[in-house]
Amino acid sequence: MIDVIIVGGGPAGVGAAEALSKLGLSVAIVDNSPFGGGVPIELSCKGESECTKCHVCMPRDAAERMRSEGAIDAYPMAKVRSVNIIDNNIEMELEIAPRYVRVNKCIDCGKCVAVCPIEGAIIAPPHGAMTRVPYIAKELCAHFTSKKCNLCSDACPTDAIKYRERPRKTKLAARAVILATGQEPVDPSGSLHYGYGVFPNVITSLEAERITSRYGELKRPSDGKRPEKVALIQCAGSRTTKGGVEYCSKFCCKYGIRIARALFDRNPEMNISFIYMDLRTFEPRSEAIKWARRKKNVAISQGVPGYIQGAEGGNLVVRRTSPFDGAIEDEEFELVILNIGGRPRPETKVIAEHFSLSLDEHGFISRGDPNRGIFVAGSCKAPMDIEESYADGKAAAISIISALGVK
């Protein structure tokens, strides 16, 4: 029997696992993604010249340490199918989807990724992934779509590729469980006035990170050009009743400021307009404003845009009301980044039902049931940023240690 099962491998799950494993408890992390690690493994460091305390490295480095030390068992691509609690023993049945690469044989040499002719068909594990094994996306892989490609299998030196892999089930039992299913980005396409999904050069903050990570700089999706004039719009999909969530997602302002600083560090000639509803950065509000005012080509101002429309050459016109005199202002940009908030993941509701827990009005699991060995951590119980989620995971670990009577 395992001491603790953690459902969710993001910052909270990693923080809890690290704290528990250091005290000698056996830990298993169950995650429905191919790699585990949560959203931080998709993000880039914001500190080009100096640390900006974006905390992306915090859970990633912890996951790397635990993986290298063999401190935890990881079950990626796994979904909880049933839960049975008897005398405080928690039994879980998992269904594990095929990744078509055998974890016990792969040496992470990267040869399969190098020979694959289709972009995205084989995904290499990013830094901070708990499972350092590639994943084959069946819907893109030429072996599955045409039955004419075996390049990755031929290149693999350890015979790790297994095209015939099928879903399998397994059972785990533990003394306690931590639910840390996290949150997912809000889809801004519901906010029709921003034109996301209509104009290719309106992108989300997460997409901006992926582009920068891939190319080493920010580029426009429409033509691959480096934009020289960019708008960052805060609260995209947060604090709204139209196509988003009604609450403040809490991390967006802090995150947006760090993106703006990272863009400026990479390209000091870029003109950046940071447009916010309210500035909630956790650091003194004046610090962000002072930073912007020290840069001649960085503007920071209040007043959420009314709508975005297309212009020539793929550019965009942002219309908003001036916060000073109420006048209507139009300004043209080459790229618009929507800094999106977060909402509970769809599986959070399913997990809550498995453990007979209730959700709050926004869909978060507000509390666990310690009497039955069920604890909740991180942004599945309330909006949190990376640092807070990581710390909350450690706090949940301490609660479990007390409940289990570990000294």
Provide the CA 211 distance to its chain's centre, in angstroms. Answer: 15
* Complete domains list, the chain, with CATH: 2-97+167-182+345-404 (3.50.50.60), 186-341 (3.50.50.60)
Instruction: List, in order, residues 6 or more apart from 76 with CB less than 8 Å away.
Output: 9, 31, 32, 33, 34, 35, 36, 96, 99, 130, 131
pLDDT for 407 equals: 59
pLDDT of residue 320: 87
Mean pLDDT of all residues in 174-184: 95
Quick check: 25 and 406 in contact, CB under 8 A? yes
CA distance 371 to 399: 12
Q: How many helices and strands (H and E) does the chain possess?
A: 10, 19
Rounded to whole angstroms, the Cα distance separating 25 from 3 reads 6
Q: Is 250 helix (H, G, I), strand (E, B) or coil?
A: coil
Closest by CA to 77, choosing from 114, 123, 115, is 123
Q: Concatenated DSSP letters for 126-162?
A: PTT-SS-S-EE-TTT-HHHHHS---HHHHH-TT--B-
Report, as an integer, the average pLDDT of 105-115.
95
Helix ranges (DSSP H) in 219-329: 252-266, 285-293
- With 70 as the cut, is the pLDDT of residue 303 above it? yes
pLDDT for 280: 65
Give every CB contact of residue 65 below 8 A, 6+ residues apart in sequence: 18, 71
Q: What is the pTM of this model?
A: 0.89
Partners of 179 in beta bridges? 7, 376
Answer for the pair 225, 267: CB distance below 8 angstroms, yes or no: no
Q: Which residue's entry shows tokens 């400021």? A: 257
Look over the chain and give the mean of its residue pLDDT values, rounded to a whole number.
88
- Is the pLDDT score of 216 beyond 90? no
Average pLDDT over residues 11-19: 93
Q: How confident is the model at residue 284 (pLDDT cuts 50, 70, 90)?
A: very low
Paired tokens of 328: 């209507």
Residue 71 CA to residue 88 CA, distance in Å, equals 24
Residue 361: partners with Cβ closer than 8 Å, 6 or more residues away: none
CA–CA gap between residue 106 and residue 162 (Å, rounded): 11
Query: Is 38 or 166 the better-scoring residue by pLDDT?
Result: 166
Higher model confidence: residue 230 or residue 237? 230
The maximal CA–CA distance of the chain, rounded, in angstroms, is 68
Q: Is the dihedral of CA 187, 190, 196, 198 positive or negative?
A: positive
Q: Residue 370 carries which side chain, given as an amino acid letter?
A: P
The percent of residues above 90 in pLDDT, for the chain, comes to 56
What interhelical angle do 205-215 and 252-266 show, nearest 10?
30
Residue 198 has what DSSP assignment? T
In single-letter form, the type of residue at position 279 comes to L
**pLDDT tens column, 311-341:** 999 999 999 877 667 788 899 999 999 998 8
Q: What is the pLDDT of residue 304?
A: 77
Tell me the average pLDDT across 98-106: 95
Mean of the pLDDT values across residues 20-49?
A: 83
Locate the DSSP E strands across 13-62: 27-30
Phi, psi angle pair for 75, to nearest 5° = -120, 85
Asked whether the predicted pLDDT for residue 157 surpasses 80, the reply is yes
Both tokens of residue 370?
Answer: 């310690």
